[in-house]
Structure 1
Amino acid sequence: MEPPHASGAPHPPNVRPILAVLAEDGLCMSVRRAAAAADRALDERVLPVPRQVWDGAASIALDPAAARACAADALPRRSAVHVVCSGPPGLLEWQAAAAVGAESVLVLPADEPALVESLAQRRDRTVAGGSVVAVVGGCGGAGASTLAAAIALTGPARRAGSRALLVDADPQGGGLDLLLGLEDRPGLRWPAVVVEGGRVSATALHDALPGAGAGVAVLSCGRGDVGRPTAAAMRAMVESGCGAGDLVVCDVGRGPGDLAAAVFDLADLVAVVVPAQVRSAAAAESVVAAARTRNPNVGVVVRGPAPGGLRGADVGELLGLPVLAVMRPQPRLSADLERGGLRLRRRSPLAAGARAVLEVLGTGGGGRAA
């Protein structure tokens, strides 16, 4: 195989290439033909695969050995990964595909048409300019859901004509519709959402979901364990909103699981909310570690009060994270949430914290935060 990015030419701006890690010449030729037929740039690599290259590819083609190596390197599971082989797949090939989270095992050249179709259907989310921010609490009661809602409400106000999609990724959180006072408003919740073929229309989604202000749609979990979203449905929703240019804000539960992993894999920024207390910072260590295994762009939002005088910089140092924002306590917040849901005032600490996160994220374009 030739050296990485063998053509020597840079990829066109805002076009995500196909990543290929293949040892056999026959497989290389088949994938090259498929990429050309799908009108995609091809980035051929040797192991190990850098995390940024893995995250930035539109689709990925791996031979079984490369699939096993990428899984062993703990590269995050993601969509559009294909394991390709030159003969009928056996147990070892299927095990490699399962280990890396591949969505298909293809025999080349016989399955070239299926590979071309898959590569051609993928759309570059960076073209549309959407961004994804995941918000997770470092400990119980940190206020992650409230900050996630504040970020979604603040985003469209910063750019005329823009939209935000607030996605509930915490089935045990009680529902974001309650937090925003939307529980009686008509519209779809997760239990009623059906994702067909892994595709969702962003326009239809905004029309079907309850709104929380101009340009803000809310996809909330229900109460209890009914209609829990799957990781595939979560991924489809996030990719749909981002591909349409929306700011997608996900309220993620603290517990490990496939939903959190799916959101972390797609996020441009993960914001961990931590109260300014030593025990809260200690409790957040496991959450930070889980997020970092899926995404390198993790920062902390420190929420006051600080009864022991712990500063935001201290919390950031304890967790080894950059501080995205330090928020003062918001007076009467709990009472406001109980009496009709979150209403964001421009000069409130929550609004200031939301704006600080959006500044770091860069709401004007997609792609990972620096």
Structure 2
Amino acid sequence: MLDIQFPLPADAILPDYGEGGLFGLAASLRHWLHSPEAGWAAGEIADGERALVVLLVIDGLGDRFLRTAGRGSALEAARRATLTSVCPSTTASAVTTLLTGVAPASHGLNGWFIHDRRFGGVIAPLPLTQRGGPPVEAFRLLPRLYPVAPMFHHACRPVNLVSPADIAFSRFSLHHARGAHIEPYMGLEDFGAAILAMADALRTSGGLIHAYYPVFDALSHLHGSRSAEALRCFSRVDDLFRRLQHALAGRDVRLMVTADHGFTDSSPERCIDLPSDGEVAAMLAAPLFGERRLAFCRVREGAKCEFEAWAREHLPGKAALVPGDAFLGSGLLGPGRPHARLAERVGSHVLLMEPGWTIVDHVEGEVAHEMIGVHGGLSADEMLVPLALVRT
């Protein structure tokens, strides 16, 4: 139950942590994997039915994109519902929900960057690097950083993860793949071939093939979410979806598609750029964490009034400033037992960016990434993702 006691950005879409959201899909999938006689309504699986599910997670494929730029595609024809992403609407938060079945409040990865003083302050929990620094190393790092068990651990149905070769055996991936077989791939054609090979392997037993494709996301960041490059990538993914339907025909496979988030585009003119030697940086006890569309701030002791005065003067129409404790109490990060360090990972203040606006700061040693396509915020383009289903 959400309890919003603060202004939101214009036209904000709130996360649905029930059946209408990505969290509900993941939680019900986890229940199906661990319950031998359970059905799964989202996959049209009856109680006690042996079934094979192929779940394609196309990173960055928003529902609004699919219904406009993707109109007339095979994926659009298979679309069954619109889901909301989690908050923040970003890969680290949403993909971890899809791998654990719990909300960001519980798994604790509330952005591409999180704050955890045990591991050096601001870190990127997927590549496991310090912001602008070396890899994160610590005693019992993985169970301390990722305390929630993956949904495949001790599952009663077999699971295969089809993952890009460059991340398939990363520390994050290996930890969250416990209980599953990992099948790495290189390129879109290999992606399709790996899915079909895993479908053959699970032909008699049934189970889950969780297949993740990140290229659409990468191209949308670099060129824009409606760029020619993103559209060509979508066309290739859609063609693969058609071919998978054909190759799996007659096998009663549930071929499902969803995404972790959608995209919106921004421009340099709508970026609040905080110089490292500027007045705002001096108010902060740590670099920004979270996302450039939803930034968590740790304001220095004694600088609270000054920071809030700066926000009142400079941020109207650009961002909504929310006290950290109000954000924590709002439920935007979802239900469940809160992560032990959740308050630290939210910080003292949160900046919810208005449509089209981003905020960035700078850390010594960090390579600056110019992004046209962005996500993490509460706009419909970012928050709404599709759920497609075909029974072959």
**TM-score in same-fold range (> 0.5):** no
* Larger fraction in helix: 1
Structure of higher RCO (CA pairs closer than 8 Å, 6+ residues apart): 2
TM-score scaled by structure 2? 0.26
- TM-score, length-normalised on structure 1? 0.27
